[in-house]
Amino acid sequence: MMNLTSPASVRQDCRLIGQTLLKLALPRLLVRAIVIAVALVLWYLVARWILDFGRTMNYDFLHSLGQPTMDMVQKVNPYLWWAVAAIWSLIVFFSVRAWLSASLASGSATPVGTDVLAGLAPNLSEESLGVLRWTWGDRQEPFTVGDLRRSLSEIRHNRIGKIAMVADQARILEGSAGRPPQEPRDDVRREPRGEHYVEPRIGPAR
């Protein structure tokens, strides 16, 4: 069985990978924070302007429709502009969420620099490097930030132990396949030899 990395070594590997991820993601995190902050300020200013505009709205131009109509419009006026502010809030929310999802996807697909990987790999245990190789898969694309993030999650969830178990099971099954086949058991039950009845001959003795 493979010698698994000690818990202290696993924690050290996780810390190194986490620090590398933070360095790689820091520029994007700053951009996201700035964009979200600007969106919140813009949302607040526009929403406040909408509500202030609604409070000062004059419906005297509806006098031709009669006083009851004007009274009804004045009564529903606050709710009307609150609804407009709610619609504006939904527009901002879904726009920011769509942009954030696209930014996260783009960040995950960003390749990890060869120099960054070369600086990280020598400091990791062989078992943790095995998890990184396992995460990379078929290796038709460069190793990405998303692969590194998944590697960190897999290491924290005992992927090292699972890889070791797979290796042990493969050795067991491959070793069983290399043994010569056993002779099939003779399960055919032999019937007991029966006694043959011979009918006595009746006739004069010779």
Query: What range does the domain containing 147 cover?
Result: 7-178
Identify whether 197 is part of a domain.
no
Answer for the pair 99, 113: CB distance below 8 angstroms, yes or no: no
Identify whether 189 is part of a domain.
no
Q: Angle at Cα 47 formed by Cα 42 and Cα 52, nearest 5°?
A: 130
What total of structural domains would you count in the chain?
Answer: 1
Identify whether 86 is part of a domain.
yes
Q: What is the per-residue pLDDT across 33-87, written as a single tens digit (0 to 9) for each? A: 999 999 999 999 999 999 888 777 666 655 566 566 666 666 777 778 899 999 9
Q: What is the model's pTM?
A: 0.71
Share of the chain above pLDDT 90, in %: 60
- Residue 191: pLDDT over 60: no
Average pLDDT of the chain? 83
**So what's the pLDDT on residue 91?**
96
Residue 139 has what DSSP assignment? -
Task: In whole angstroms, give the CA distance from residue 139 to residue 49.
Answer: 53
Task: In whole angstroms, give the CA distance from residue 147 to residue 144.
Answer: 5
Identify whether 74 is part of a domain.
yes
Residue with tokens 């790689």: 24
